Amino acid sequence: MAPDRVSNPGKASDGGLAGRLRQDFVLAIMVSAGGLAIAAIALFAVYRFHTGNLTGALANVLIVTALASVLAMALRSRDSAPAAAVFVIVSGLACVASTLVFGRTGAYWGYLVLWLNFVLTRRELAATVNLAIIALVASHGELFDDLAERLVYTVSASLVTVFAWGFSIRYASQRRQLELLASHDPLTGAGNRRLLQRDLEAAVEGMAAGGPGATVAVLDLDHFKQVNDNSGHEAGDRVLVGLVAALRAQLRRGDGLYRFGGEEFVLLLHGLRGEDTERALAALHPRINEGLHALAPTVTVSIGAAPLRRGENWSAWLARADAALYRAKQAGRNRVEIDPD
């Protein structure tokens, strides 16, 4: 195990707007739907200015300005959820305003809004906005020619809301499953390299912002190959699954556990530095060995750890922990080595 082999544990996260749009589905929908809406409404504004409909043109300009402001807010923020909630409310108000100003043609745009609301924000807020839109449009005195048309709109818009609610439940479930597959090891359920890099980067940013820092520890099972050779890979898999279960029983809420590859795992211990790291790992090491002994009596664990240094990037931090693991292996295995802070 060469100490410099940890150079790129996963594909670097994409930077810039393109990377954010690939990683944030809600932001991508806001930008695409909002951008198209702004372009379409701006064309209507130009047309209405040209035809002398100043009231309609000004209403279009107001809607474009509001939507553009929300998109700017979303692009500036690292969390798209608050901006998405504002986007849903603003688009709902724009839908009602368009109906009041332009009549029935404004109501037609509302069906798209009723559906998109459930894609962009939590179901409770989407349903509330949708019901408000339906009630305000349906109560418009001069919009419909008779009661039958009013009922047709109310029922059809309500059905769109009900179907969108059901779609959002199904979509959220499938999205959680996809996120789990994309970020976790399928055998053990521990985080994978992609999740490890993301969490290490977050810890580095947290310390740079004045946070307490963290320690990363790399664990490797000693003599694990003998288990596979003597008892088969299925027995080896049981050891790995058991190790993860034992580690989860010992870790604090919020600490990270990741499978780095093969029989190697990584722990992210938040808020631990110096003597706290030494005490925590000194207590953890025999407990891990105790759990392993019940699964495979010949297997032990070596640990290399490194507290985060201020100004250090995530890859250098992880490389120091891996180098400490290399030293633990060279010194005879079944021991803990901590790189100095």
Residues in contact with 77: Cβ distance below 8 Å, sequence separation at least 6, in sequence order: 83
Alpha-carbon span 213 to 209, nearest angstrom? 10
**Whether the predicted pLDDT of 111 surpasses 60:** yes
Residues 58-103 pLDDT 10s: 988 998 999 999 999 888 887 888 999 999 999 999 888 888 888 8
- pLDDT at residue 341, as a whole number: 65
**Is residue 5 scored above 70 in pLDDT?**
no
What is the tens place of the pLDDT at every residue in 167-201?
A: 989 888 887 787 777 788 889 999 999 999 999 99
Q: What local confidence, expressed as pLDDT, does residue 14 receive?
A: 46
Q: Sorting pLDDT into bands at 50, 70 and 90, what band is 25?
A: confident
Burial of 12 (0-12, 13-18, 19+ CB in 10 A): exposed
Q: Worst-scoring range by mean pLDDT, 16-25, 41-50, 51-60, 160-169?
A: 16-25
Higher per-residue pLDDT: 106 or 254: 254
Give pLDDT tens digits for 196-237.
999 999 999 998 888 888 999 999 999 999 898 888 989 999
CA distance 48 to 38: 15
Domain ranges of the chain: 16-183, 193-338
Is residue 10 over pLDDT 60? Answer: no
Q: Which helix (H) or strand (E) holds 214?
A: strand 214-222
Provide the pLDDT for residue 224: 92
Residue count of the chain, please give it.
Answer: 341
In contact, 69 and 156? CB cutoff 8 Å: no
The pLDDT value given to residue 219: 96
- Averaged pLDDT, 316-335: 95
CATH topology of domain 193-338: Alpha-Beta Plaits (3.30.70)
- Following DSSP, what letter does each residue of 105-116 receive, concatenated? HHHHHHHHHHHH
Q: What is the pLDDT of residue 135?
A: 94
pLDDT at 23 over 60: yes
C-beta separation of 214 from 269 below 8 A = yes
DSSP state letter for 251: S
As a whole number, mean pLDDT of residues 16-24 equals 77
pLDDT, tens only, 116-159:
999 899 999 999 999 999 999 998 878 888 899 899 999 999 99
How many other CB atoms are found less than 10 A from the CB of residue 38?
Answer: 17
Q: Give residue-wise pLDDT tens across range 249-284.
A: 889 988 999 999 899 999 999 988 778 888 999 999
Pair of tokens at residue 1: 């195990």
Nearest to residue 259, comparing CAs of 274, 239, 273?
A: 239
Residue 6 pLDDT? 39
Tell me the pLDDT band of 307, cut-offs 50, 70 and 90: very high
Collapsing DSSP to helix, strand or coil, 80 comes out as helix
pLDDT at 42: 92
H-only helix segments in the chain? 16-23, 25-51, 54-76, 80-102, 104-120, 123-138, 147-183, 193-208, 224-231, 233-250, 274-295, 314-330
